[in-house]
Structure 1
């Protein structure tokens, strides 16, 4: 699904008209319309504000991917995906179990330069499992926030505050 389609879906779910949304992010209504028709990209300088206004996790994931591309997770929206909260919970548990098993299966005690070809291939599998777990967890947070009317933004504000208090971030 193209970013504009994600935007339209999130905007409508938030009960915002194109005009309301455009006013909130300081762009024209026609610019919003062109983005939603996938005829124009959302200007990068307003994507952050648009994520703040939408306060929707799936939109935030789509916005990050729009800017970063394949270095960020995709929004899962294919025909084989079930984003019902129970399905997302079950899939997240499954992915977490798989990644923990994978992490335990690889030894990182040796220096990377001395890693065997087999261990290097095994490490690639572990990284893939970890990435799948990240995708599952972010979708879990997004879906639960959406379903239970929790603020996606507020979750991350709390996390930033906790990490700052613990000295993990400056």
Structure 2
């Protein structure tokens, strides 16, 4: 469920820094007051869903989009990995993604999905939950790699996804 509003101060600060703009410019681009931008940036006011949607149309910044969508989805999507244990260089993130993918594959190989869900034991369900955890970790690493590469090489993720949709349809993956 997408929230009607969310605290987006971190995402706004990221956008202002990465786009090298001031809050006044953001306010003009989103047709809101500079005071509202200031309040949202400092988490004194929530960003409304319509303003978030407008900002994603105006700005094609993958890190901002990830942070904003993470907040509005209530944590259902991958967050921006920006902790001390993460080196933001594209090669380091690439290696991190490979490691997480390999861990997920290794765990998946050790899980048996043959039994129907209602017939699994408590131990089997725990292994399946661990597999899901590893998939979530791999997904977060891949999402951050995708955003980093798009940003550094100045490739629009929106454009790339839009170009993939016909391929997914022709493969029968989506309708």
Give the alignment's Cα RMSD to 1 decimal: 1.7
Partner SS for 1:69: coil
Cα 1:160–1:30, aligned 2, differ >3 Å: closer, same or farther?
farther
**Whole-Å separation in 2 of the counterparts to 1:129 and 1:12:** 32
Q: How many residue pairs align between the two structures? A: 169
Please state whether the residue corresponding to 1:71 is helix, strand or coil: coil
Q: 1:93 aligns with which of 94, 98, 114?
A: 98
Q: Give the TM-score of the pair, scaled to structure 2.
A: 0.87
Normalised TM-score (structure 1):
0.90
Whether the 8 Å contact between 1:52 and 1:153 is mirrored in structure 2 is: no
Spell out, residue by residue over 1:103-134, the C-alpha distance to the aligned partner (whole angstroms, 9 max, x if none).
11111111111112221111011000000011
1:53 is aligned to 2:54: no
Q: Judging by fraction of residues, say which structure has more helix.
A: 1
In the alignment, is the contact (CA less than 8 A) between 1:11 and 1:54 conserved in 2?
no
State the Cα distance separating 1:101 from its structure 2 match.
Answer: 1.3
Contact between 1:88 and 1:136, CA under 8 Å: does it hold in 2? yes
Alignment map for 1:1-170 (pairs within 5 Å): 3-170=8-175
Q: Which structure 1 segments of 5+ residues have no match?
A: none
User: Any idea what the Cα deviations from partners look like across 1:67-102, whole Å, max 9, x if unmatched?
Assistant: 111322222122222111111000001011111111
Q: Which runs of 5+ in 2 are unaligned?
A: 1-6
What is the CA–CA distance in structure 2 between the aligned matches of 1:27 and 1:167, rounded to whole Å?
A: 42
4+ residue segments displaced more than 4 Å: none
Range with bigger deviation, 8-17 or 132-141: 8-17
Q: Is the CA contact 2:14–2:63 (under 8 Å) kept in the aligned structure 1?
A: no
